């Protein structure tokens, strides 16, 4: 099996550590790094002081004092300077980047350039946010490895850039958004969909269920909190809610059948998940992936979801959960979940385990490495474009490997 070297910029707002697995970007970096190491690759992580993810080498780019100065509220109970468990994570969403972000960029670029080799991979967890690093480092094998956000960017013949999407919805949305008119968008042969991935040690299976339902996620309207509340109210069932508080929903005014338990660490989710009759994931917006519903499956618990975004990819009605189009569907699904087999549900969830998904990444990196060797070696100065390799002398190789005059 081919082995590769990866340069992986972390995050500005938090260290790369399992302490902040409530941050979806942190989860991806931590788990993808573990998968790459398990396959024998080298991984170089660049990020904030306090990062402790296993890697070949960690290179510090900025300090926790920088983070506290930028986003802290003076709360010394937390190393970030604010109570992130009862609010959203704070980040740099300014058009003009903060001094801490600029420091991160500068140190990432400098340190990667010291270590890089021409056939190394550059992994970018946050799309446009990390693009200044991509632009300055200019590694040919530049990849966004887990796009579940709307800030991705395409490559060019002069600077290739490849993309992995969490779901077919996210891939098609991105291509469409980048090509709003003109006969429809084109795809890219080397982009692909690889789902989110989960560590089996974090989730415990149980075939025995208790008499309650679970909602776990941010306490915002668009996550469908009130759908879960009203559906369980309609059938006279208890609902446990967990997640980061937001000002949109007053947790003190939830109906009596609801119990709010606050933020739950990812490793602590397995206990309420494995005993719930079902987990509500009734998000209004188009979910790029919604990891909670797969976490539920891994516990043998069916998810009850909306019928758009990622869910048509992952939920088979009447097998591992229910997708709903109306409020009446949510009520019926909450009643019908007792008929589903927890062992079947768990089996569906296993498709997303790290030990399985890592091979999809290995194929991706093999494909891109072969492309790199072809374009920079056998074909000289060539670039990928529209499914083929453009050669400097005006010829190109199409997706089937045929050589043509441009």
In tens, the pLDDT along 84-123 reads 877 778 888 777 899 999 999 999 999 999 999 999 999 9
End-to-end CA distance of the chain: 35
Of 97, 87, 31, 96, nearest to 62 (Cα)?
A: 97
Between strands 382-385 and 322-324, the pairing is unpaired
Written as one string, the DSSP assignment of 137-150 is H--SEEEEEEE-SS
Average pLDDT over residues 254-277: 91
Q: Find the length of the chain.
A: 406
Instruction: Please tell me the predicted confidence (pLDDT) of residue 377.
Output: 67
CB 387 within 8 A of CB 188: yes
What residues form DSSP beta bridges with 192? 164
pLDDT exceeds 90 at position 26:
yes
* pLDDT higher than 90, residue 264: no
Q: Does the pLDDT at position 179 exceed 90? A: no
Are domains 5-198+358-397 and 200-350 of this chain identical in fold? yes
pLDDT digits (tens, 9 = 90+) for 39-56: 999 999 999 999 999 999
For 5-198+358-397, give the CATH class: alpha beta
Query: Is 200-350 assigned to CATH 3.40.50.2000?
Result: yes
Nearest to 42 by CA among 118, 145, 120, 107: 120
Segment 118-160, tens digit of pLDDT: 999 999 999 999 999 999 999 999 999 999 999 999 998 888 9
Q: Say if residue 402's pLDDT is above 70.
A: no
pLDDT at 390 over 60: no
> What ranges do the domains of the chain cover?
5-198+358-397, 200-350
| Confidence band for 168, pLDDT divided at 50, 70 and 90 | very high
Most confident of the following: 157-161, 210-214, 248-252? 210-214
Given a contact cutoff of 8 angstroms between Cβ atoms, the answer to whether 297 and 198 are in contact is no
Strand, helix or coil for residue 398: coil
CA dihedral 29, 34, 36, 39 (to 10 degrees): -170
Q: Could you tell me the two tokens for 263?
A: 């933020």
**Helix, strand, coil content of the chain in percent (nearest 5):** 40, 20, 45
């Amino acid at each position: 099996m081919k082995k590769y070297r990866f340069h992986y910029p972390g995050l500005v707002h938090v260290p790369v550590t399992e302490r902040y697995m409530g941050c979806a970007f942190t989860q991806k970096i931590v788990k993808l790094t573990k998968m790459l190491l398990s396959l024998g690759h080298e991984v170089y992580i660049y990020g904030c002081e306090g990062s402790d993810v296993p890697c070949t080498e960690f290179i510090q780019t900025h300090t926790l004092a920088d983070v506290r100065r930028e986003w802290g509220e003076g709360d010394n109970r937390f190393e970030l300077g604010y109570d992130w468990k009862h609010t959203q994570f704070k980040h740099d969403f300014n058009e003009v980047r903060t001094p801490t972000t600029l420091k991160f960029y500068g140190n990432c670029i400098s340190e990667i350039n010291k270590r890089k080799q021409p056939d190394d991979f550059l992994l970018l967890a946050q799309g446009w946010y990390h693009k200044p690093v991509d632009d300055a480092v200019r590694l040919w094998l530049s990849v966004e490895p887990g796009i579940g956000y709307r800030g991705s960017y395409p490559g060019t013949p002069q600077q290739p850039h490849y993309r992995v999407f969490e779901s077919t919805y996210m891939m098609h949305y991105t291509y469409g958004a980048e090509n709003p008119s003109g006969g429809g968008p084109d795809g890219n042969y080397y982009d692909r969909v690889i789902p989110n991935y989960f560590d089996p040690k974090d989730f415990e299976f149980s075939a025995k269920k208790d008499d309650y339902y679970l909602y776990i996620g941010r306490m915002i309207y668009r996550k469908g909190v009130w759908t879960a509340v009203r559906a369980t109210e309609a059938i006279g069932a208890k609902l446990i809610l967990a997640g980061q508080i937001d000002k949109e929903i007053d947790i003190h005014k939830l109906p009596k059948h609801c119990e709010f338990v606050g933020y739950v660490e990812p490793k602590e989710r397995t206990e309420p998940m494995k005993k719930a009759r079902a987990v509500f994931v009734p998000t209004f917006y188009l979910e790029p992936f919604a990891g909670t519903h797969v976490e539920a499956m891994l516990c043998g618990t069916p998810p009850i979801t909306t019928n758009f975004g990622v869910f048509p990819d992952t939920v088979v009605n009447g097998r591992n959960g229910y997708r709903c189009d109306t409020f009446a569907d949510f009520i019926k699904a909450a009643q019908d979940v007792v008929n589903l087999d927890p062992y079947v549900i768990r089996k569906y969830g296993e498709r997303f385990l790290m030990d399985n998904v890592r091979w999809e990444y290995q194929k991706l990196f093999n494909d891109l490495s072969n492309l790199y060797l072809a374009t920079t070696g056998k074909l000289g100065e060539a670039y990928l474009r529209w499914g083929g390799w453009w050669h400097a002398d005006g010829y190109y190789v199409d997706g089937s490997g045929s050589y043509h005059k441009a």
